[in-house]
Amino acid sequence: MYGRNNEEIKKRITEDWKQILRSNFNNLSEKITGGSPPSVFVSSYAYPKVKVGPLFSPLQTDSTILDHPEKWTGKSIDDIIRYKLSLIRGTYSTHVKTNLNPDRYIQSLQELTMATRSTEIEVAFERKPKLNLEEISSGTSSDSDTIQFGMTSELESLKLASDISSDKKIEKAFYDTDFRAIEAINYLYEEGIEISRISKILSLGMIGIKKNRRLVPTKWSISAIDQIISSDLIKKTNTFQPLDRTRIYMYVHLGNYYSIVLIPDELWSFEMHEAWIDKKGDTKIETDSEDSRGLKNYPKIGGSYFAARLAVTEFLHYQKRSASVIVLREIHPEYLLPVGVWQIREGIREALRMNCKEFDTRDIALSFACNNLTISKNEWFANSSLAKSRKSHSRISDYFGTS
């Protein structure tokens, strides 16, 4: 039912990468030229001391696809891991507040991040980059982590191409040191800058009031961007008219099964359920929710929650409609290696691009939402505030007691 054994798949991935290493990276030295998507990575280990550096590939000049999650929908987990393995990571230790008076190295990374396209860089390492497959073998990563594995080494120097073209919208936010970070993030989003790009900009301390700017670990910046943008969109959707009928959207990718339930309502409410199914068929369900007053506590499911919330709020904003939302995410064992919260955001975005089923009765809608899932309707909604609303025709906001 669940396909190949996870350990066998991990072993095959490891062997495939070693073959790539032998075929493509045998001639690596301490000095390497390659294409950066453009991309950078800031670690969280030992915070507030962090390791920051570029990601680049010596295998191809146009490396854009290698770190562009918005283009990964429909790709296999093997493809995604191959993209990540193809990127070499340079590291440089610094304090997060270094960005207040950035040295030439940080300035170069910021310049790289503003580039409009894949950019050639020349890197000198202290020693030849080595293979790092710890995150594949450990199996301890979660979706809230941005997984980086492959070859890595400490940097000595970084040189950019002389013909870099910078994005003017990003430049505007970067050079305006009186522009609050939240305002800059929403400005960049409204100007069409992709989520994955904005998270790198925040990560390198490139936006916000000057005295508050600092480096932000990559995995924190991703969830922060999802949270900030979706919070702004929620305020806007509450001014729209409710949907006419309950809608169900579904999508499956990378061993993740999604059902998204949009319930007509004047005020925003959101609930996300995550169920991890192991090889034995045992299940663990986590649930987080909010009403129009917002979250009471940081969600147990972490960045997954905000990634999903962003996808549905931007859809409602596009539709100019308001609703209460339930997201069901069922994770099967073939999702052998969490690849990051991007796949939740992009999976739900893709679901909402597809045709929906509409229902007049909420109970029938919720039953349909579970048809494609292994877990039963009763199990899913045992702890659901939204599904338990007292009257099928009542407002969800009435149930929550929002005045």
What the block records as the tokens of 234 is: 């929620």
Query: Of 90-104, 201-215, 363-377, which gets the smallest average pLDDT?
Result: 90-104
Say yes or no to pLDDT of 391 above 70: no
DSSP bridge partners of 333: none
For the stretch 298-323, pLDDT in tens is 999 999 999 999 999 999 999 999 99
Look at 105-114, 198-207, 223-232, 279-288 and tell me which has the smallest mean pLDDT.
279-288
pLDDT of residue 9: 61
Mean pLDDT lowest among 79-93, 155-169, 212-226:
79-93
Is the Cα torsion angle 163, 167, 172, 175 positive or negative in sign?
Answer: negative
**Amino acid (one-letter) located at 124:** A
**What phi, psi does 58 have (nearest 5°)?**
-80, 0
Q: What's the CA gap between 51 and 162, in Å, rounded? A: 25
Show Cβ contacts of residue 48 under 8 Å, excluding neighbours closer than 6 positions: 95, 96, 97
Q: What is the DSSP letter of 189?
A: H
Task: Give me the mean pLDDT over the 178-197 stretch.
Answer: 97
Position 138 pLDDT exceeds 50: no
Q: Per the structure block, which two tokens stand in for 70?
A: 């918005």
Phi, psi of 254, rounded to the nearest 5 degrees = 55, 35
Q: Are the beta carbons of 229 and 185 closer than 8 angstroms?
A: yes
Residue 134 banded pLDDT, cuts 50, 70, 90:
low
Tokens of 316: 């409602």
Q: Can you give the pLDDT at residue 4?
A: 43
* Mean pLDDT within 159-172: 94
Judged against a pLDDT cut of 90, whether residue 203 lies above it is answered with yes
Helices (H), 25-113: 77-85, 104-113
* Bond from prior residue into 333 cis (ω within 30 degrees of 0): no
Give the confidence band of 365 by pLDDT, cuts at 50, 70, 90: very high
Q: Is the pLDDT of residue 84 over 90?
A: no
Rounded CA separation 271/292 (Å): 12
Q: Is the pLDDT of residue 14 over 80?
A: no
Residue 251 has pLDDT above 50, yes or no: yes
Question: What is the reported pLDDT for 402?
Answer: 44
Percentage of the residues of the chain whose pLDDT score is greater than 70? 86
When the pLDDT of each residue in the chain is averaged and rounded to a whole number, the result is 87
In the chain, domain spans: 6-166, 238-400
340/106 Cα distance (integer angstroms):
25
d(CA 315, CA 30): 47
Closest among 231, 237, 226, 227 to 195, alpha carbons compared: 226
